[in-house]
Chain A
């Protein structure tokens, strides 16, 4: 287990300044911030970021990227998240799909998908969970049957965020029968969400919002060239995807707006000592967790594979996001209303309603602890 504090180069700090300047110009003063990666989707906003070269930053230039680093991407992402900017249209494709296609995809897939992702033109969802398959992902039942020129896909995916707005999703499915090892015979297929046989049904979120969907796949034809990477390596691809994309700023900044607007809406002299205590306690943790998370990005750039560290930081970060809500709630005395109130009050209501998802998405706390504890024993 190794975390080394990292200092940003002058070039990296300049990138941060550019992003701050851009956000100051783009987001109006009365902008309603979102909570982390749950912030709204706005394709125009994503395209503007793309025009600045801030999508697919670590992708090589010949595929439309910037050939920059994980740290550069970290900086852009943390600036967007700290403002609650609407990054929903590009977030999954930028964080997960583009790197996976670059790493495992065919040359044709790289040339077709990646430049469109880095241009902010294609939005992706993840097709992992199923009604009977959550943390135990290798038990997926969605299956492809081989036909002439491709696969006929049948099954149901759930909790598919953004499927109603996005273009594609990468579906984890079984492409050959169970051979005694559940991790064998799984593949990832890139599926057009508008293809024939795909039905997207909303699953209302508990606050009434529409993020989640059920995606029913009925005899959906997926051509052979849309098998992502190698047939049968789906499990290895999915776990490698999860391991490194786990510990970014999206895992600790979801509720930053709460603290910021709490400060913005309170006169310094009016703060009770309990309120001061909570502000100090939370900020000290932000400073620390950010450096843990940043050090993982730097390690990845240096060629390391900090999978255990990433699991640990995700667990630290997402639990902290929830603690933040509880700590702040503890020192204010308000009744929550999801529709009216000051910006701080609206964010507190929203955070209370969406908070439980922070330690579920991207691997539950329980699964992460199992990953991390195996690493500790080594």
Chain B
């Protein structure tokens, strides 16, 4: 983590300590969205980190954005940073547009089930998008679609679509959106530059979930170490029992593994999204999410199963985020198929490409 990133992390941690308390996390489960926390992040300029200043953002890069996500994950804050900033904000900025007012969201799977046709200089959208994060809470949905052979970014106001609310198991909004022959004018569309592809969006989305997971894992580790040091049974803190220590070590190991994978993937992503890195980070983080949730609940006993206790706020997110944007199983299959194509002799050289050489000068200088 460089100095800027440390500064972002410590500033955000302080802000979220005040604005993403256990009570406000529970309160946000009603609307599926932590409005106040999001507002505060916007006021502090954190909500647009990684969007260039020329497009109205705060500047910074993808690795800086992953630091924000890490803190959001730690704080269990139901805020749309990944979709609003990393996906919609980035895509529009690449196309030279600033983000419109209000929350924007974006789905990574628009091409699957949405048909877009040209009409009156604008376009008509027809179809359904499933599991769109924050659609109920957003002012607009940004869609990447093919129109007569050219990729377009289309900004669709949520007022013009039908939303059937859905939730993940942390009760964050994940909605079904019906586009019932929705017409948009020409000025709602902009040609998508070559960098904005479905694959790029998918990789950015997967990295965002891995970063959120790494933050939640770090916090679960702290909460579990603290609880097991305080809770006494049989006359001593339960952390003194080897059987409990086994859980603690397992949690710490998984947490540092996920953190390392996310750090490396995010740092490398600054100079170019890489399928191998991001797939690996999502695989390791998602796998860790399941292992850590199980071990931390076991170490906590019944208190961990209560709604007001912090652990459940984190583990319900881990159980959500590990599946979102591709589970460890689905990324593993894709990565495995890719590696098989590359061949056995390419395997070791790829594994030993840790931090990409393009980062060398900067990292060595900053060390």
List the interface of chain A (C-beta within 8 A of B): 1, 3-10, 13, 16, 78, 82, 256, 259-261, 263-264, 266, 268, 271, 273, 275-281, 283-292, 294-295, 312, 315-316, 366, 368-370, 372-373, 376-377
Q: Which listed residue (B1, B242, B261, B364) contacts A370, Cβ 8 A?
A: B242
- Please list the residues of chain B having a beta carbon within 8 angstroms of any beta carbon in chain A: 1, 221, 225, 229, 239, 242, 245-246, 248-249, 252-253, 256-257, 259-261, 263-264, 267, 276-277, 279-281, 283-284, 287, 328-329, 331-341, 343-345, 347-348, 350-352, 354-357, 359-360, 363-364
Residues of A within 8 A of B338 (CB): 280
Docked-complex contact A288 and B257, CB < 8 angstroms = yes
What's the Cα separation between A368 and B225 when bound, in Å?
Answer: 17
Question: How far apart are the CA atoms of A304 and B242 in the complex, in Å?
Answer: 28
Verify A288–B246 contact, CB threshold 8 A: no
* Pair B336/A275 contact, Cβ less than 8 Å: yes
Question: Nearest 3 CB-CB pairs, A to B?
Answer: A280-B335, A276-B336, A280-B332
Bound-state Cα–Cα, A350 to B196, Å: 48
Contact in complex: A283, B352 (CB < 8 Å) = no
CA distance A176 to B284 in the complex (A): 50
Least CB distance, B107 to chain A, in whole angstroms: 25
Asked whether B351 lies within 8 Å of A283 as measured between CB atoms, the reply is yes
Residues of the A chain whose Cβ atoms lie less than 8 Å from the Cβ of B239 = 373, 377
Known A263-B347, A268-B341, A276-B333; 12 more pairs at CB < 8 Å: A9-B364, A10-B357, A264-B343, A277-B329, A281-B328, A283-B280, A283-B350, A284-B279, A287-B261, A291-B355, A368-B249, A369-B245
Q: How far is the CB of A216 from chain B (nearest CB, A)?
A: 34
**Which residue on B lies nearest to A265, using beta carbons?**
B344
A281-B252 in contact (CB<8A): no
Residues of B within 8 A of A6 (CB): 354-355, 363
Whether B249 pairs with A260 at a CB distance below 8 angstroms is no
Given A281-B287, A284-B335, A366-B242, check contact A376 B357 (CB 8 Å): no
Give A13 to B360 CA distance when docked, in angstroms: 11
Contact of A292 among B260, B328, B364 (CB under 8 A): B260
Cα distance A369–B347 when bound, in Å? Answer: 31
Q: How far is the CB of B131 from chain A (nearest CB, A)?
A: 22
Contacts of A259 in B (CB 8 A): 347
Known: A8-B354, A278-B332. A266 touches B340 (CB 8 A): yes
